[in-house]
Amino acid sequence: MLAGESLPMDLILPQTTSAIRLSRILAAAALAGTMTITTLPNPASAATNGFHAPTRTFAGAFLAANAARDRYDFTAAARFFDEALRFDPGNQGLRRDLMIALVTDGQIEAAVPHGEALKDDTGAARLARLLLGVDAVRESRYLDANALLSSGASNDLETLMSGIMRAWALHGSGDTEGALALIDALDGPDWYALFASYHGALIADAAGMNEVAEARYAAGVGDQAGGSASPLTYLRLAEANARFLARNGKLAEARAAIARGLEIAPNNPDMLAVAETIDTPAGSRSIIATPQRGAAEILLNLGSAINRDGAEDFAALYLELGRALWPNNAQILFELGGIAEALGQTDKAIRYYAAVPSDSPLAHISALQRGLALSDLDRNDEAKAQLRALIDADPNDFRGYLALGGVHSSLKEFDEAADVYAAAIEQLDLDEPRFWQVHYRLGIAYERTDRWPEAERVFKHTLTLVPDQPDVLNYLGYSWIDMNMNLDEGIDMIRTAVAQRPRDGYIVDSLGWAYYRLGEFEKAVEQLETATELRPRDMIINDHLGDAYWRVGRQLEATYQWSRALAMEGEEEDLAEIRQKLADANAGREPMIATSRIDNGAAEQASGTASGNDG
């Protein structure tokens, strides 16, 4: 099956297996360290504390707060938790929930008094002390920060975060040697090494300890495993190292450090910008030289690392704490914008993207994301106008074409999308692997507008740029299989794609459907059952499984799958076909299920098209 379109994040960062694995470990630590359940107050105590809300009951405020939190509207959640807390001021669970909502919403100053009230509470002390420690660093109260952050951490994530923040506080208080010793004493899993090398180098760099800084930068840059696990942190390390080397007269080595970063993320805006300016004073200056920025950096490093797998709200909490320390940090604002989009808070995402400083390398891509967010709000004319203006302002940035083409595609304006992608290929020299997305999207637009020979030609060309790219292999292989052509070659492509992404429900569905088309129905059922587990709410995948069940004689299960599919979102034409199959099956008639190569005439069709369709 074929997945939908969006502006891909690998235009900025690679999505490596190690990075996904680390993010899951850190996300689990974040979730484990903060989850408790708010206790309901005693109704009698709420009634006798002397406060009566003018318009709401406690139950109304409490339920509204939880409903707002469930939809990730932390502004409303904070307001309602505050109102509920007025009924029961002694309820520490409510106060904790209010504190978390305020921090996640970026209302740090409003959260601090609640942190003070909770700093000795068993269920909330660690988070409260983190908040108060951040506030102390922000106000340059470094000894207070060190004391607040010294309380026992409950997991590896907290140990690393508090340890490095304490090191920055010690450096701020004048004890740089103690700061470096604290970092060196951090004892944890292998993935600690990259963060320890990076922040140790930054602290030594800020203190003018050039030999120590150079050695620590080198250790971090040499940590390829750490770079694969946390690519954003590695890229920021590479940039800081390049700036350090350039400031110290080692320009060739600085350029080599940048080249290593660009090998990991060839389209990363920050790395491309520093490559252009590294030989200038602005390009070589240190940008993380204060305890405030250093503490913000570790919050960014770890917040971005856990930003997936259901931990987006915790990632936002860490990033908002970082923003309190470094308000105009473009990467933090950009990450928060992406989280807000992922959580369905599109208006908030637009505000974050708009706040990215105009002189930041991320400003242009933030404007592109803002245009896409406008489209998510169905403000499509505004979105297209903004994205067109961005293309006109910088016609050599291929991401603008991807964004505008994506909006047209989301509106099923595939002719317009094809024109945009074709213009990009005509305007720019895009025959490099890093531009494969433009070619791929052009192929999709051609396929959706029934220009299959052109689509097939573009997909094949894309595979010359990225021979094993699973999305392209899946799209071309699936298209062939769905048209009952080139079945053997198509299934080989999809097997290659599945080997790379075995947890991708769309690609696993393609493999199941390939087996179906080949007449290997038991294998089809096995793969399609897996696909429905991975994508249980997808109408097409459930429909495919229904057809496969019918083929192997599991007719009751087939009708169940078709019934499930009808309850899901899909194209009306597809839903009508499913309704007809279900009606026929219930009436005792043979339903019109999808054909396979073993059906009468299908083998001849497959043979003919396979020999005559080499693109």
Fold of domain 33-299:
1.25.40
pLDDT for 601 = 45
How many angstroms separate the Cα of 134 from the Cα of each of 108, 161, 165, 168, 202?
10, 11, 9, 11, 19
Helix axes 176-184, 192-206, angle to 10 degrees: 170
Q: What is the pLDDT of residues 184-212, one digit of tens each?
A: 999 989 889 999 999 999 999 999 999 99
* Average pLDDT estimate for 257-277: 92
How many angstroms separate the Cα of 156 from the Cα of each of 296, 325, 440?
19, 23, 41
pLDDT for 310 = 78
Q: Which residues of 313-345 are buried (b: 16+ CB within 10 A; e: fewer)?
A: bbbbbbbbbbbbbbeebbbbbbbbbbbbbbbeb
pLDDT for 2 = 55
Fold of domain 502-615:
1.25.40
Q: For residue 399, is it left (φ>0), alpha (ψ between -120 and 50) or beta?
A: alpha
pLDDT for 481 = 84
Reported confidence tier of residue 32, pLDDT bands at 50, 70, 90: very low
Domain boundaries, the chain: 33-299, 502-615
pLDDT for 151 = 78
pLDDT for 309 = 67
How many angstroms separate the Cα of 307 from the Cα of each of 228, 312, 335, 336?
16, 5, 9, 10
Of the two residues 38 and 486, the one the predictor is more confident about is 486
pLDDT for 3 = 52
Q: What is the pLDDT of residues 107-150, one digit of tens each?
A: 999 999 999 999 999 889 999 999 999 999 999 999 999 999 99
Distance CA 239, CA 247 (A): 12
pLDDT for 566 = 95
- Of 205-219, 336-350, 481-495, least confident by mean pLDDT is 481-495
Q: What is the pTM of this model?
A: 0.80
* Average pLDDT estimate for 510-536: 95
* Average pLDDT estimate for 578-605: 83
Q: Does the pLDDT of residue 43 top 70, yes or no? A: no
Of the two residues 11 and 389, the one the predictor is more confident about is 389
> What burial class does residue 518 get, using C-beta atoms within 10 Å of its C-beta: 0-12 exposed, 13-18 middle, 19+ buried?
buried
Reported confidence tier of residue 47, pLDDT bands at 50, 70, 90: very low
Helix (H, G, I), strand (E, B) or coil at 307: coil
Share of residues in the chain with pLDDT > 90 (%):
77
Q: What is the pLDDT of residues 145-167, one digit of tens each?
A: 999 999 766 788 999 999 999 99
pLDDT for 9 = 46
Q: What is the pLDDT of residues 558-584, one digit of tens each?
A: 999 999 999 999 989 999 999 999 999
pLDDT for 36 = 40
Q: What is the pLDDT of residues 423-481, one digit of tens each?
A: 999 989 889 898 999 999 999 999 999 999 999 999 999 999 999 999 999 999 999 98
Query: Tokens in use for 321?
Result: 């704490």
pLDDT for 311 = 86
pLDDT for 4 = 43
Query: Tokens in use for 1?
Result: 């099956």
* Average pLDDT estimate for 5-13: 48
pLDDT for 565 = 96
* Average pLDDT estimate for 245-259: 95
Q: Does the pLDDT of residue 19 top 70, yes or no? A: no
Are domains 33-299 and 502-615 of this chain identical in fold? Answer: yes
Q: Does the pLDDT of residue 178 top 80, yes or no? A: yes
